[in-house]
Amino acid sequence: MSVLDPVLAEFRGDVRAWFADNAPSPKEDPRAPGIDSAEHLDRQRSWLTILNRRGFGAPHVPVEWGGGGLDMAHQIVLFEEWARADAPTLDAFLISLRHLPETLLEAGTVEQRERFIRQAISGTVWCQGFSEPGAGSDLSSLRTKAVPDGDGWVVTGQKIWSSNAVFADHCLLLARTDPDSVRGEGIGYFIMDMKAPGVDVRPIGQITGHSEFCEIFIDEVRIPGDCVIGDPSDGWRIAQTTLQAERGPFGVELIERVVFNLEQALSSTCSHEEARSRELTRMLARAYAVRALALETYSSMMDDETSGGAASTLKVAYTELLQDATSLLMLQRGTTALIDPSVEHFQGWVSGHSSIDWLGSWGLTISGGSNEIQRTIIAQRVLGLPRGVRR
């Protein structure tokens, strides 16, 4: 991928102009202060509808399944310009737009793809039922069980940290199909109807003041046989495909938002604020380095050369960059950074509120595989270090 590619340069100009003409007005922006979660979701869905008219809502999904069909180079340009336009993200549809299509295109039947992909990327909310109270970073130790029942399955268990589950219509669910299996063996991958009898969703209050994380209690919920993805014992392998969806070029958007906002902050610094300018310059240089790492990683992905270790390195780099960059701006803004988000007058990078972005940044080093786990992967796959010996 070359920034001098004339085709990409023309595409970049088109995308930049499109966002200038179509990004939501302040009155329609999902990040507007004072709106509740339901209104936030409705505004994101309206924005998704507009994006889908150009294939930008799900640019990675093939055209035949309703997406934009863009290759990775064009996706990177799209996400860069999306961030530079300060247009809203689509966090409420994370699972719908990324995880669900990736999983079904890899392991689903044609019927499952026809039934679910188009409606998911058109605005149906999906959630993910992977983590459990006793199985987070060590996901393969999950205990939710699925028991055969005629041509279907009956599932019982508990899931946690399921984003937007309170609004979801469907859930990508892992459950143990073989009670005698251990670790990643004997696990099935299911599509669960969130409105089915026996599903109880309980939102979890977070430090940001929001409650998009949820617990899901599953009490003998019946799942039809046609809602099993792949072989009922092959769910652990299929789940790796789902997790790979988090390693696509979507991270470019977040990194570019950090770069853009640091540049804006630096340009507004007065000449006499030498210490402030120096701190921002150092952080901006680091952000440029992380952006370069991202472009190198995604370029290697296009050539099928990138290992999981490289993706883990990038995940650690950009999540910790976001933590440190938001912390720096919180410190520099002083007490004004603690204003109630409902009346805050300055925009944040993702949520629209600087303080919420700072608080929310700490969860990013846990979600998608904790950074501690990522460092283990880096040690083994990048540095070639031996596994630790348990005493």
Q: CB of 189 within 8 A of CB of 228? A: yes
Question: Phi and psi for 129 in degrees, rounded to 5?
Answer: -110, 75
Helix (H, G, I), strand (E, B) or coil at 130: coil
CB 230 within 8 A of CB 172: no
List all residues 6 or more positions away from 286 whose beta carbon is below 8 Å from its beta carbon: 321, 324
- The answer to whether the Cα torsion of 55, 57, 58, 64 is positive or negative is negative
Name the active-site residue from 106, 185, 246, 263: 246
Which residue is associated with the tokens 């088109």? 14
Residue 88 C-alpha from the chain's centroid? 14
Active site annotation includes 246: yes
Q: Determine how many CB atoms are found less than 10 A away from the CB of residue 292.
A: 11
* Residue 317 burial (10 A CB sphere; 0-12, 13-18, 19+): buried
| Four-residue CA torsion sign, 139, 140, 144, 149 | positive
Helices (H), the chain: 6-22, 37-52, 72-84, 94, 100-107, 110-121, 235-244, 251-267, 274-302, 308-333, 354-361, 371-377
C-alpha torsion 192→193→198→199, nearest 10: 80
Instruction: Give the C-alpha separation, 189 to 236, whole Å.
Output: 8
The DSSP string of 162-208 is -TTGGG-SEEEEEEES-TT--TTSSEEEEEEETTSTTEEEEE---TT
3-state secondary structure 142-160: CCCEEEEECCEEEEEEEEC
Whether 367 contacts 318, CB under 8 Å: no
- Show which residues are catalytic: 246
